[in-house]
Amino acid sequence: MKPSNASTQRQKLLDHLLDGQPVTEDLGRLMFGVRRNAARISELRKAGWDIKTVLDENHCATWSIRDLRNPRKAVQGTLPFEEGSADR
């Protein structure tokens, strides 16, 4: 079965963040075709990724991994995304 669009978008955002690069709404849209970056970031956080949000003076968000030495915080019971979960 082919992965969903949201699943692919999450993976692209996560790969970019794990490379140490921040993501903004505009960057996510231009580079990865993500129209709802905040939703994908929220899903990554629910999966246990420790992602920091910084708002600029115009309230535009920039997301980054908090600590690249330990990017995934310990979250008991976190399961990988299953097809169809949070992709609606």
| pLDDT of 24 strictly over 80 | yes
Q: Supply the pTM of this predicted model.
A: 0.72
Instruction: Give the domains, in start order, of the chain with CATH numbers.
Output: 5-65 (1.10.10.10)
Quote the pLDDT of residue 61: 94
For the chain, give the secondary structure using H, E and C. Answer: CCCCHHHHHHHHHHHHHHCCCCEEHHHHHHHHCCCCHHHHHHHHHHCCECEEEEECCCCCEEEEECCCCCCECCCCCCCCCCCCCCCC
Res. 85 pLDDT band, cuts 50 70 90 = very low
Higher pLDDT, 16 or 85: 16
CB 32 within 8 A of CB 14: no
- What are 46-80's pLDDT values in tens digits? 998 999 999 999 999 999 998 777 767 644 344 45
